[in-house]
Amino acid sequence: MNAPLIGQSVKRKEDLRFITGVGRFTDDITAPGQAHAYFLRSPHAHARIRSIDLERARSAPGVVAVFTGDDLAKAKVGGLPCGWLITGVDGKPMKEPPYPPLAQGKVRYVGDRVAVVIADTLDQAKDAAELIEVDYEVLPATVKAAGARAPGATVVHDIAPDNTCYVWALGDKAAVESAFKSAHHVTTLEFINNRLIPNAIEPRAALASYAPGDDAYTLYVTSQNPHVERLLMTAFVLGLPEHKVRVIAPDVGGGFGSKIYLYGEEVVLTWASKQVNRPVKWTAERIESFQSDAHGRDHVTKAELALDKNGKFLAMRVTTTANMGAYLSTFASCIPTILYATLLAGQYTTPAIYCEVTAVFTHTAPVDAYRGAGRPEATYVVERLVDTAAREMGIDRAEIRRRNFIKDFPYQTPVALLYDTGGYDATLTDALKLADVAGFEARRKDAEKRGKLRGLGYSTYIEACGIAPSNVAGALGARAGLYEAGEIRAHPTGTVTVFTGSHAHGQGHETTFAQVVADRLGLPIENVDVVHGDTGRVLFGMGTYGSRSIAVGGTAIMKALDKIVAKGKKIAAHLLEAAESDIEYDRGTFKVAGTDKQKTFAEVAFAAYVPHNYPLDKLEPGLNESAFYDPTNFTFPAGSHICEIEIDPDTGQTRVVNFTAVDDFGKVINPMIVEGQVHGGVAQGIGQALLEGCVYDPQSGQLLTGTYMDYAMPRADDVPYFKVGTRETPCTHNPLGVKGCGEAGAIGAPAAVINAIVDALAPFGVRDIEMPATPERVWRAMRSAKLRK
Amino acid sequence: MDISVSLTVNGKPVSATLDPRTLLVQLLRERLRLTGTHVGCDTGQCGACTVHLNGRAVKSCIVLAAQAQGAEVVTIEGIAAAGSLHPMQAAFRDHHGLQCGFCTPGIVMNAIELAKKHPNLSEEAVRAGLEGNFCRCTGYHNIVKAVLAGAAAMRR
Burial-class residue A216 by CB neighbours within 10 Å (0-12, 13-18, 19+).
middle
Does residue A2 register a pLDDT over 70? Answer: no
CATH label, A483-629, candidates 3.30.870.10, 3.90.1170.50, 3.30.365.10, 2.30.30.360: 3.30.365.10
Q: What is the DSSP string of chain B?
A: --EEEEEEETTEEEEEEE-TT-BHHHIIIIIS--TTS--S-SSSSS-TTEEEETTEEEEGGGSBGGGGTT-EEE-GGGSS-TT---HHHHHHHHTT--SS-SSHHHHHHHHHHHHHH-TT--HHHHHHHTTT---SSSTTHHHHHHHHHHHHHHH-
pLDDT at B42: 87
Residue of B nearest to A723 (CA): B141
CA A312 to chain centre: 33
Q: Give the three-class secondary structure for A454.
A: strand
Write out the E strands in A540-653.
583-586, 589-592, 598-600, 624-629, 638-647
pLDDT at B46: 97
Q: Which residue has the higher pLDDT, A786 or B154?
A: B154
CA B43 to chain centre: 16
Same domain, B67 and B95: no
Q: Residue A446 contacts by C-beta under 8 Å, 6 or more apart in sequence? A: none
As a whole number of Å, the end-to-end CA separation of chain A is 73
Q: Which residues of B touch A27 (CB under 8 A)?
A: 29, 35, 38-39
Residue window 170-199, chain A: list those with CB within 8 Å of chain B. Answer: 199
CB B142 within 8 A of CB A671: no
Q: Give the three-class secondary structure for A339.
A: coil
pLDDT in tens, B4-26: 999 999 999 999 999 999 999 99
Burial-class residue B21 by CB neighbours within 10 Å (0-12, 13-18, 19+).
exposed
- Return d(Cα A543, Cα A535) in angstroms, integer: 11
Largest CA distance in chain B: 50
pLDDT at A740: 95
Residue window 17-36, chain A: list those with CB within 8 Å of chain B. Answer: 17-25, 27-28, 30
pLDDT in tens, B108-150: 999 999 999 998 999 999 999 999 999 999 999 999 999 999 9
Least confident of A166-175, A476-485, A503-512, A770-779: A476-485
pLDDT at A789: 64
pLDDT at A142: 98
pLDDT in tens, A326-368: 999 999 999 999 999 999 999 999 999 999 999 999 999 999 9
| C-beta atoms of A21 and B126 within 8 A | no
- Return d(Cα A480, Cα A228) in angstroms, integer: 9
What architecture (CATH level 2) is domain A299-467+633-788?
2-Layer Sandwich (3.30)
| C-beta atoms of B76 and A20 within 8 A | yes
Element (H, E) at A221: strand A216-221
CB A759 within 8 A of CB A456: yes
pLDDT at B156: 87
- Return d(Cα A210, Cα A206) in angstroms, integer: 13
Percentages of chain A per state (helix, strand, coil), in multiples of 5: 30, 25, 45
Does residue A1 register a pLDDT over 60? Answer: no
Span A190-213, mean pLDDT? 98
Same domain, B42 and B101: no
DSSP-derived letter for residue A293 is S
pLDDT in tens, A430-449: 999 999 999 999 999 999 99
Burial-class residue A87 by CB neighbours within 10 Å (0-12, 13-18, 19+).
middle
Does residue A163 register a pLDDT over 80? Answer: yes
pLDDT in tens, A278-298: 999 999 999 999 999 999 999
Q: How do strand B56-59 and strand B50-53 relate by DSSP bridges?
A: antiparallel
Q: Residue A705 contacts by C-beta under 8 Å, 6 or more apart in sequence? A: A197, A290, A693, A694, A695, A711
| C-beta atoms of A200 and B136 within 8 A | yes
CB pairs under 8 A between A and B: 180
Q: Is A684 an 8 Å CB contact of chain B?
A: yes
- Return d(Cα A525, Cα A14) in angstroms, integer: 13
Domain that holds residue B149: 87-155
Share of chain A above pLDDT 70, in %: 99
DSSP-derived letter for residue A738 is B
Same domain, B123 and B151: yes
Does residue B87 register a pLDDT over 60? Answer: yes
pLDDT at A468: 85
CATH label, A31-139+202-253+259-292, candidates 3.90.1170.50, 3.40.630.30, 3.40.190.10, 3.40.50.300: 3.90.1170.50
| C-beta atoms of A722 and B141 within 8 A | yes
pLDDT in tens, A20-75: 999 999 999 999 999 999 999 999 999 999 999 999 999 999 999 999 999 999 99
Question: Number of folded domains in chain B?
Answer: 2
Same domain, B11 and B63: yes
ipTM of the prediction greater than 0.95, yes or no: yes
Residue window 43-102, chain B: list those with CB within 8 Å of chain A. Answer: 43, 45-46, 48, 75-77, 80, 85, 89-90, 92-94, 96, 98-102
Identity of the residue in A19, A123, A717 whose CB atom sits nearest the CB atom of B21 = A123
Does residue A149 register a pLDDT over 60? Answer: yes
Average of per-residue pLDDT values in chain A: 97
Same domain, B96 and B147: yes
- Residue A787 binned pLDDT confidence (cut-offs 50, 70, 90): low
Same domain, B74 and B96: no
Same domain, B113 and B136: yes
**CATH code, domain with B26:** 3.10.20.30
**CATH code, domain with B137:** 1.10.150.120
Does residue A690 register a pLDDT over 80? Answer: yes
**Strand partners for A317:** A304, A354
pLDDT at A467: 87
DSSP-derived letter for residue A25 is B
Nearest CA to CA, how far is B107 from chain A (Å)? Answer: 10
pLDDT at B119: 87
- Residue A389 binned pLDDT confidence (cut-offs 50, 70, 90): very high
Span A494-518, mean pLDDT? 97
Q: Residue A15 contacts by C-beta under 8 Å, 6 or more apart in sequence? A: B92, B93, B98, B101
Domains A299-467+633-788 and A483-629 share a fold: yes
pLDDT at B1: 84
Same domain, B72 and B7: yes
| C-beta atoms of A11 and B19 within 8 A | no
- Return d(Cα A701, Cα A385) in angstroms, integer: 32
Same domain, B93 and B40: no
Q: Please report, for chain A, the start and end positions of each structural domain, with discontinuous segments joined by +.
A: 31-139+202-253+259-292, 299-467+633-788, 483-629
Identity of the residue in B39, B131, B140 whose CB atom sits nearest the CB atom of A683 = B140
Nearest to B106, CA basis, from A477, A752, A23? A23
Helix A744-761 and helix A775-788, axial crossing angle in degrees, nearest 10: 30
DSSP-derived letter for residue A405 is B
Span A579-605, mean pLDDT? 97
Predicted model pTM: 0.97
Q: Give the three-class secondary structure for A10.
A: coil
pLDDT in tens, A123-148: 999 999 999 999 999 999 999 999 99
Same domain, B130 and B69: no
Does residue A103 register a pLDDT over 90? Answer: yes
- Dihedral angle computed from the Cα positions of residues B9, B14, B17 and B19, in that order, rounded to the nearest 10 degrees: 0
Q: Which residues of A touch B124 (CB under 8 A)?
A: 717
Same domain, B117 and B58: no
Same domain, B101 and B120: yes
Does residue A545 register a pLDDT over 80? Answer: yes
